[in-house]
A and B are shown apart, each in its own frame.
Chain A
Amino acid sequence: MSDRVDRRRFLKIAGTSLGIGALYSVAPLLGADGEAGEVARTLWKKNGEKLKPFSFIQLSDTHVGFSGPPDPLGTQAFERAVETINSLRHRPDLVLVSGDLTHDSEKPGVHADRMRQFKEIAARLKVGTVHCIPGEHDAGLDGGALFRDLFGPTFYAFDHRGVHFIGLDNVSRAKPEVGPDQIAWLKRDLARFPVSSPIVVFTHRPLFDLKPEWEWFTSDGDEVMNVLAPYENVTVLYGHIHRHHEHTAGGARHLAARSLIFAFPDPETTADKKPLPFDKDQPFKNLGLRIIEEPKGRADAPGRPTINEVELTAREYSGTVGINQFLKEGAY
């Protein structure tokens, strides 16, 4: 294999955030000089499955059942996001939901009803498969029991078109942690893969200390990332923080998806962790689409990615038609 091709940049992932999260397209980055093609063939041989282009969507923090001043519209943003996904010209293969599907309730039966309502809305998605992992509002009060009853295991792994997906649970234990049993499982799960395998981890809380004072961390996140450290193509998708965030450490790329209920402020500029206020003129502000475009360029000379903001605009508030998407140039 040629050393001139950076295998860490081999996997091309572009994203379209839908307030829910992001639409990612996965494709081998085939350079004009043909060397990336050699990388593709080698990975195919090593991984056993050819990496084929596809796209998937990450949704997060839909908080079905939440009702309050930060978002009096309830599930509207979630439902509109489903409509948007279904209207995409190229349907994604998968939808990943990175936790806080529902807002917790201690009233008997209410939380289960909210989970069923989430399933009803998610069932409208015209995609191949929807994979969910819990957030603390889904699993924090009962250790994930209700989630397991209605959705299945809280952590698991699967393969899709040459990419290995791992859903991690960092909310079902009392503390914000993955826990030794799940880390041992992760080691066993990864053991069969060569270091070149493309790996996408999706979880709820960030696996690094983003803002511990706001509980934006996973106490044993470093241990998880140490297990993943040998692997060269690792992308970690998470939610919980209700805003977009990008972070790179140890070669792994961490991307947070926006929420579909309300947004949190930037902790770098705000002392208090309070939801951004609802704006009736722009009800889905900060929940809008975000398109991350990988730069066009040769595999060994990539340019800078760009981000285009897309806002969701509701007809009843703006007079525009449905979810109009306004593209705004954004700098990365």
Chain B
Amino acid sequence: MRTGRADARTIALGIALMMVAVTLVSPFPARAQGTPRAVEITAKRFEFTPKEITVKQGETVTLRLTSEDVTHGFYMKALGIDAAIEPGHPTEITITPRTTGSFTTICDHFCGEGHGNMHMKIVVE
């Protein structure tokens, strides 16, 4: 019995150390198991930041969209993305891209003179 408890403690300690190690080497923030990776995207006239993100084919990712000024759109038909981003009200959308490629995603809510060139890329590898 005592041996069994010691083994369990050793295993638990090992798992904890591994989780710390994974957290330290992972490029992404720690998250609960099963929670999609979150990517922050900011919109302001007339650009998105970052200008490009990369996700893996089949990976489920949550895009957290915020606007720093006016209402913007976020549209990419092939990825099933069609959202509005209102200032003060972050929008979350979850995608699981099935096809690789570079997908130009646009603001489709007219926001002023430079609206026609407000876009970013979602690269699916």
Contact = CB atoms under 8 A, between A and B. Distances in A.
Given A175-B73, A212-B77, A141 B110 contact: yes
Interface string A87-107: 000000000000000011010
Determine chain A's interface SS by DSSP, over half rule: loop
Contacts of B112: 104, 106, 141
Interface string A32-74: 0000000000000000000000000000000000000000000
Contacts of A214: 106, 116
Contacts of B106: 212-215
Nearest to A139: B110
Interface in A166-216: 171, 174-176, 209, 212-215
Interface residues of A, number: 18
B117 A174 contact: no
A273 interface: yes
A206 to B, nearest CB: 14
B108 A215 contact: yes
B116 A215 contact: yes
Given A175-B108, A213-B106, A215-B108, A273 B113 contact: no
B118 to A, nearest CB: 9
Contacts of A106: 112
Interface in A212-262: 212-215, 219
B84 interface: yes
Contacts, number: 39
A164 B113 CA distance: 34
Nearest to A136: B110
B116 A273 contact: yes
B71 interface: yes
A171 B110 contact: yes
Contacts of B113: 103-104
Contacts of A31: none
A174 B84 CA distance: 9
A214 B106 CA distance: 8
A103 B114 CA distance: 11
B71 A174 contact: yes
A175 B73 CA distance: 8
Q: Sorted from nearest, which 7 A-B pairs have the closest CB atoms? A: A140-B110, A213-B104, A136-B110, A174-B109, A175-B108, A212-B77, A176-B108
Given A175-B108, A209-B77, A215-B116, 10 more contacts: A136-B110, A140-B110, A140-B115, A141-B110, A174-B84, A174-B109, A213-B106, A213-B119, A214-B106, A273-B117
Interface of A: 103-104, 106, 136, 140-141, 171, 174-176, 209, 212-215, 219, 273-274
